[in-house]
Homo-oligomer: A and B are copies of this chain.
Amino acid sequence: MFPAIDKAGQLAALDDNYRAVDEALEIGAACLVLVVGGMPKGSKDIDGARQQVHDGIASLLQYSRKVGMPLAIEPLHPMYAADRACVNTMAYANDLCDVLGDDGFGIALDVYHVWWDPDLRNQIRRAGKQRLLAFHICDWLVPTTDLLLDRGMMGDGVIDIAGLRTAVEAEGYSGFHEVEIFSAANWWKRSPDEVLLTCKQRHLECC
C-alpha cells in the first residue's frame, strides 16, 4: 500500500514496499503482487490517492528493476476502492503499465475483482502475455454476506472462471492458477485436507 496522509507516511509506506521486494527475493517469488492501498484516513481525494500510487510504484520500480523482482499490480474490486486499493479495473492497471513501462512490471488478475467488467476481455488482450504475471481464482457468491471474507469456492458462484482462464491463456499466460478464498464462515472452518481436495476437484471441473 502506497498512499498516506503526509510525506513522512508516504516514505514509511515506500520503505515497507522496499522490504517487501527484499522478502520476495529471499523466498524466490516469481513476482511481488501490489495491493496498492486506498485513500488515506480522512481523505476524499481518490485522484490524489491514485497519483500517490503512481509515484510510489515509480520509485519502487527503480529498486525492483535493479534487483530483478517483477511487480504485479492487482486491480481490486471497486468495493475496496476506499480502503484497500484505488486501482480497480484492468484498464487502469494497463494505463499504469503504459505510463511506467513494462520492464519488470505487470498485472495480477484475480477473477473475483474483475469478472463484472464489460471491458475485461479487451483489457486482457491489451495486457497480453508480457503483462499477465499472475492469475487468481475463486468465485463470487450470490448472496455475498461480507465485503471481504465471503469469497466462494470455484463453482459455487457466478464467475465464468473457465472462460477467463481461456482468455488469459489465449494470450500466452502459462503460470499458476492460484486459489485465494477468504471465507471466514465456511472454508476457513474446514480441515485443510478437505479444502485442498475440494480445490483440486473444482479446479478440474469448473476452471
Which A residues are closer than 8 A to B by beta carbons?
38-39, 43-47, 50, 77-79, 81-83, 86, 88-89, 91-92, 115-119, 140, 142-145, 147, 157-160
| C-alpha spacing A89/B78, complex, angstroms | 11
User: Across the interface, do B159 and A44 meet the contact criterion of CB distance under 8 Å?
Assistant: yes
CB distance from A82 to the nearest CB of B (A): 5
User: Across the interface, do A117 and B78 meet the contact criterion of CB distance under 8 Å?
Assistant: yes
| C-alpha spacing A122/B2, complex, angstroms | 26
Residue in contact with A142 in the complex, picked from B50, B77, B83, CB distance below 8 Å: B83
Q: Which residues of chain B have C-beta atoms less than 8 A from A50's C-beta? A: 118
Residue in contact with A144 in the complex, picked from B77, B145, B147, CB distance below 8 Å: B147
Q: Is the interface of A mostly helix, strand, loop or mixed?
A: loop
User: Across the interface, do B89 and A118 meet the contact criterion of CB distance under 8 Å?
Assistant: yes
CB distance from A179 to the nearest CB of B (A): 18
CB distance from A160 to the nearest CB of B (A): 4
Residue in contact with A140 in the complex, picked from B43, B82, B89, B158, CB distance below 8 Å: B82
User: Across the interface, do B118 and A39 meet the contact criterion of CB distance under 8 Å?
Assistant: no
User: Across the interface, do A116 and B81 meet the contact criterion of CB distance under 8 Å?
Assistant: yes
CB distance from A93 to the nearest CB of B (A): 11
| C-alpha spacing A160/B42, complex, angstroms | 12
14 other A-B residue contacts (CB within 8 Å) besides A79-B144, A88-B116: A44-B158, A44-B160, A46-B115, A46-B116, A46-B160, A50-B118, A77-B78, A78-B78, A78-B116, A78-B117, A79-B147, A82-B140, A89-B118, A91-B119
CB distance from A196 to the nearest CB of B (A): 24
User: Across the interface, do B160 and A45 meet the contact criterion of CB distance under 8 Å?
Assistant: yes
| C-alpha spacing A87/B52, complex, angstroms | 30
CB distance from A40 to the nearest CB of B (A): 10
| C-alpha spacing A196/B82, complex, angstroms | 27
